Structures are given as structure tokens and as C-alpha cells.
């Protein structure tokens, strides 16, 4: 088995964060503290704080626990498959 290590990451700029977020689709889930549409409208105000969080996480190698949550929803791989057969169900992070 091979092990990969990243010893150093390039820190991101506010422009990096803004570009990534503007290119992202507008989707929200129940875990989002604010709807994606409102987030994008406030992006220029939030960019310095988000940049700081991302860069600190890269520097320390730690992701804040409150940012690790995800909702997982079972979805049928194909609509015509048997819903009782667990092999036909895939998990999707929403």
C-alpha cells in the first residue's frame, strides 16, 4: 500500500475563494446556515473570513468539526430497480 503525504499547501486568496464559489452551483441543504443564493449575494463580504478559515485549516491540517457534517440520502441507481434490494441503492451526499 502506498502512502501519500502533502507537506505543504498553497494558501488561497480571496479571489480564489470568490471564483470557486461563483462557479459552484446554487444548491442548499438543511445543514447550511444560510441559503446558497443569499451566500452568493454576500460573497464579497464573507470572502475574507472564508479565506482565513480555509488558509488556517490548510496551515494547521485541521478541519473545524462544525464544517464536517453532511446529510446522506439513499437514492435508487435507476428508477426501475427494486427498492427492497439494497444493492440497487446508492448513497448521495446532499
pLDDT digits (tens, 9 = 90+) for 44-89: 999 999 999 999 988 888 887 877 777 776 666 666 666 566 555 5
What pLDDT, on a 0 to 100 scale, did the predictor assign at position 12?
Answer: 94
Q: How confident is the model at residue 92 (pLDDT cuts 50, 70, 90)?
A: low
Residue 82 and residue 69 in contact, taking contact as beta carbons nearer than 8 Å: no
Sign, Cα dihedral of 88, 89, 92, 94: positive
Q: Domain ranges for the chain, please list them.
A: 14-69
What pLDDT, on a 0 to 100 scale, did the predictor assign at position 54?
Answer: 92
Grid coordinates of 34 = 444560510
Whether the predicted pLDDT of 20 surpasses 70: yes
Amino acid at each position: 500500500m502506498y502512502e501519500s503525504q502533502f507537506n505543504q499547501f498553497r494558501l488561497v486568496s480571496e479571489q480564489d475563494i470568490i471564483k470557486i464559489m461563483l462557479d459552484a452551483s446554487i444548491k442548499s441543504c438543511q445543514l447550511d446556515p444560510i441559503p446558497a443564493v443569499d451566500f452568493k449575494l454576500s460573497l464579497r463580504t464573507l470572502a475574507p473570513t472564508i479565506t482565513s478559515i480555509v488558509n488556517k485549516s490548510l496551515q494547521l491540517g485541521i478541519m473545524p468539526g462544525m464544517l464536517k457534517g453532511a446529510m446522506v440520502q439513499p437514492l435508487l441507481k435507476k428508477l426501475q430497480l427494486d427498492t427492497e434490494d439494497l444493492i440497487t441503492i446508492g448513497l448521495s451526499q446532499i
